[in-house]
Each structure stands twice: as structure tokens, then as C-alpha cells.
Structure 1
Amino acid sequence: MCDQPIQIAVLGDKGVGKTSIVRQWLSNDYSSIYSTTRLATYHFTSLFNGQRLFHIRIIDTPRFDETNNTDPQQEWVRMYCFRQAHVFLLVFDVNREETFSYIKSIYREIIRVRLNYNNNNSYLQQNAVHHTDIINDDDDPSSMDIPVIVVANKVDLIATDLHFTNFNLASTRDILQYTKKNLKANTILCSAKYHWHLVLLFKEVCHMLETVEDTVAKQAAQQARRRLQQHGKHCHIM
């Protein structure tokens, strides 16, 4: 078991139910009164899959603005999540097609940030940059191993939401195919309001944590070695 918590970032547009999913799972609590998430919140908890116990840190995020005039704190959280999160839950409202477009753009941004971050770290460690490739919308990001689960929330509103006339079952099937092919991710249909399929969602999270845990342990060991090296540079024998 890795002592370092595995970080799960919950990302998505406004009003898609990110906070509702987290609260329903952790506390069996759901509020019908909508309140916009303005600051990131952090939840430390554990997941047990029957054989292994995982310590996790869930980061419930606000909608990240696409402009350059973002709040400094929001920008810090955005960059921290994109660089450091081990698993991403990309949440959209199954009744609003634009919210799925938003997580597609978020996914591309995660790829860009991680490529830059990895390149910079490589430069600092080896004094040489092997490549400076930045993907664009036409590039295939499949070479980047980004642990993602796509969450299609609010399926309980499918039969009643008027928007669904323009976003039908055929569109949902297209989304399932897109996420499988382009994001290499599974899509979980759920309802935070009725706690429907949340157990299935977090079973999928547990399955993903098994593959992520070794990476987290290696990162923790590398950080510890780096701190020792930095400490050694500042120690002088008198």
C-alpha cells in the first residue's frame, strides 16, 4: 500500500454535478439547491476494493475559465491539477452537449500542460530538452497515458429535459465511441441525485487506482531523493 495519497481531480463545466457526485458518494448527501463552486475543495478519504486499501485525495474544482484573466488562486489549482493529479474524472451533463465539448477542451489542455511540464523537468534533470512537441486539435494524444474516467451525469433528466430533443440517444452513443477511441476512457452514466451508478463509478476508480498506485510510489521516492540531494547541497562540513 502506498502511503502517499492518490490524487483524483474532478473537472467539468458549471452545473454538471461535480460537487453533487462527491458529496453523494462521501456523505450520502444531495442538495437540490444549486450553488456554483468558486474555490476548489479537498476531501481525504479511503477506498477498499476487497483486497487493497487506497488513500485518496479528491479535488473538487470550479469551472476553469478559458481566458487569460483568471483568478490567481484558480489558476494555481488548475495548473496543480493538470500537472499532479493521478486520475481525472471528467464530468458532463448528458442533457447538455456543450458540457461534453468543454471536457474535450480540458483533456487537450491537460495533455499540453503535461507535455510542457515533463519537458521542463527533463531539462532541469538532464540539462537538455529531447523534444518540445505541443499537440494541437489534430494530433493524436494517445501516446500520453492520462488516467481518465468520463462521467455522464444527470441521466435522470433525460426524459424531462427539453434540451434532450437535440441531444438524443444517438448522440450519447457517439460520445461513448469518442471517449473510448480518443480518450482511451470508459464512460459511466450516472445520477448523483438518485445515487444511481455511483458505486459502479467508484469501482471503476478502484480498478484504475491499482494501475496508478505504483506510479505514485515511484513519484514519492523520486521526490524524496530530490529533497535529499537538495539538502546535501546546502550542508557544509565544518
Structure 2
Amino acid sequence: MCDRPIQIAVIGDKAVGKTSIIRQWLYNDYSSSHSTTRLATYHFTSLFNGQRLFHIRIIDTPRFDDTNNTDPQQEWVRMYCFRRAHLFLLVFDINREETFSYIKNIYREIIRFRYNNNNNFYSQQPTENLADMINGDDDQSASHLPVIVVANKVDFISTDVRFANITLTNSRDIQQYVKKNFKSNTILCSAKYHWHLVLLFREVCRMLETVEDTVAKQAAQQARRRLQQHGKHCHVM
């Protein structure tokens, strides 16, 4: 078991249910009134999968705007998450296609920052429609990033067959896209009715087994580097 908490960043557009998912899972609490998350909040907890105990820190983030409108606090949180998070929950509203476009762009930015050392965040690009997303390959997909994509608000899917079929077809296309380009699973859930949240955090537990090993290795490497640097400044008298 790693002594350091494993950091999970929950990222998504406004009003997709990031805070609701966290509060419903941790505290069995749901509020029907919406309050926009403006500052990051941190939740320390533990997960036990029957064999291993994981100490985790969940970071509930505000919407990350483009660099022209980002205040210093939001910029710090964004940079911290992009650098330090070990696992990402990318949340979108299954009824709003633009919220999936948002996490798709976020995913690209994290990959670009972590693996290509490109600090040009949020360069403006034309918004893609769903057909372009499905048909196009993500040129960053070769790099592995521990991600779970969360499609929230399935309880709001229209009961009108004319619109429900369109929404469900889009959700299948999105799941196909996520599996192909994110190399990840999509969990459909409802924070309001606690539907599939157990399934979601079972998937989190599954991924934490691999993530924890990586965190432990990184901690060991950092400790060795500190010892080496300390040794360079030690002199035998």
C-alpha cells in the first residue's frame, strides 16, 4: 500500500454533475438546487476492494476556461491537476453533446501537456460535431492516460421515442469513440438516483491497482534522486 494518497481529478463542463456524483457517493447526499463550483474542493477518503486499501484524494474542479479568462486560482488548480493527478474522471451530460466536446478537448490538453511538453493550453480550434469525432482519430491517443469517462444524467433522457433514440444512438457512438481514442470505458450513471455509482467506483478501484503501483515507483525514484543529490553535497572529512 502506498503511503501517499492517490489523487483523482474530477473534470467536466458546468452543470454536468461533478459535485453531485462526489457527494452522492461519499455522503449519500443529493441537492436538487444547482450551485456552480467556482473553487476546487478536496475530499480525502479510502477505498477497499476486498484485498487492498487505497487512500485517495478527490479533487472537485470548476470548469477550466480558456487562458484569456482564467483567474490565478483556477490556473493553479488546472496546472496542479494536469501535473499531479493520477486518475481522471471526465464527466459529461449525456443529453448535451457540447459537454462531451469539452472533455475531449480537456483530454487532448492533458496529453499534450504531460507527454509533448507543450504549454500552449487551449489553443482555439473549431468545435467538432459528433460525426467528425467518431470518424477522426485522436493523434494523441497513443499515450496512455488513466481515465474513466462518466456519462451522467441518464435519468433526463427524453421519454419521447423520437428524441430518446437519437440520444441513445449518440451515447453508443460516444462509447465507441472513448474506447478507441481514450482507451477507456464509459460509465453511464445518474447522480440523482445513485444509479451505477457503485459500478463507477468499482471501475475506479480496478484502475487504482495499476495506478498505485505507478505512484509507489515514482515515490521510490524521487527518494533515490534526493539521496543522490544529497550525496553530491556530502564531503568526507
Structure 2 length normalisation: TM-score?
0.85
1:177-213 Cα shifts (integer Å, max 9, x gaps): 0001011110000000111000000000000001111
Match in the other structure for 1:85 = 85
Q: State whether structure 2 residue 138 is matched by structure 1 residue 143.
A: no
Alignment check: 8 A CA contact 1:9 1:87 kept:
yes
One-letter amino acid of the counterpart of residue 57, structure 1:
R
Cα distance 1:116–1:169, how it changes in 2: closer, same or farther (>3 A)?
Answer: same
Q: 1:200 to 1:159 in 2, by over 3 A?
A: same
Going from structure 1 to structure 2, the CA distance change for 1:117 and 1:214 (only over 3 Å counts) comes to farther
Letter matched to residue 148 of structure 1: V
Tell me if the contact between 1:95 and 1:167 (Cα under 8 Å) persists in the aligned partners. Answer: no
Measure the CA separation in 1 of the matches of 2:70 and 2:236.
Answer: 47
**Contact 1:49–1:206 at 8 Å: present in 2 too?**
yes
Q: Relative to 1, partners in 2 of residues 1:5 and 1:226: Cα closer, same or farther, differing over 3 Å?
A: same
Deviation at 1:98, TM superposition (A): 0.4
Note if contact 1:83-1:117 (Cα within 8 Å) is conserved in structure 2.
Answer: no
Aligned to 2:194: 195
Range 193-202 or range 218-227, more displaced: 218-227
Identity %: 83
AA aligned opposite 2:222: Q
Whichever residue aligns with residue 63 of structure 2, its letter is R
Q: Do the aligned residues in 1 keep the contact of 2:9 with 2:60 (CA within 8 Å)?
A: yes
CA contact (8 A) 2:112 2:140 kept: no
Residues 92-141 of structure 1, C-alpha deviations (whole Å, 9 max, x = no match): 001111000000000000001102459xxxxxxxxxxxxxxxxxx96522
Name the structure 2 match of 1:224.
Answer: 223
Q: How many residues of Structure 1 are paired with residues of Structure 2 in the alignment?
A: 221
Cα distance in 2 for partners of 1:8, 1:186 equals 16
Instruction: Establish whether residue 36 from structure 1 lines up as the match of residue 21 from structure 2.
Output: no
Task: Give, in angstroms, the shift of residue 229 of structure 1.
Answer: 3.7
- Alignment check: 8 A CA contact 2:137 2:181 kept: no
Q: 2:108 & 2:97 partners in 1: Cα distance?
A: 17
Q: Is the 8 A contact 2:157 2:164 kept in 1?
A: no
1:124 is aligned to none
1:15-164 equivalences in 2 (<5 Å): 15-117=15-117, 140-159=139-158
- Compute the RMSD of aligned alpha carbons: 2.5
Q: Give the structure 2 partner of residue 204 of structure 1.
A: 203
Residue 149 and residue 139 in structure 1: after superposition, are their counterparts in 2 closer, same or farther (change >3 A)? Answer: closer
Offset at residue 142 of structure 1 (A):
2.7
Aligned to 1:133: none
User: Which SS does the other structure have where 2:141 is aligned?
Assistant: helix
Return the letter of the residue paired with 2:106: I
- Asked if structure 2 preserves the Cα contact closer than 8 Å seen for 1:96 and 1:167, the reply is no
1:169 maps to what in 2?
A: 168
Rounded to whole Å, the distance in 2 between the matches of 1:5 and 1:18 is 20
The answer as to whether partners of 1:89 and 1:151 remain within 8 angstroms in 2 is yes
**Within 1, Cα distance between the matches of 2:179 and 2:65?**
26
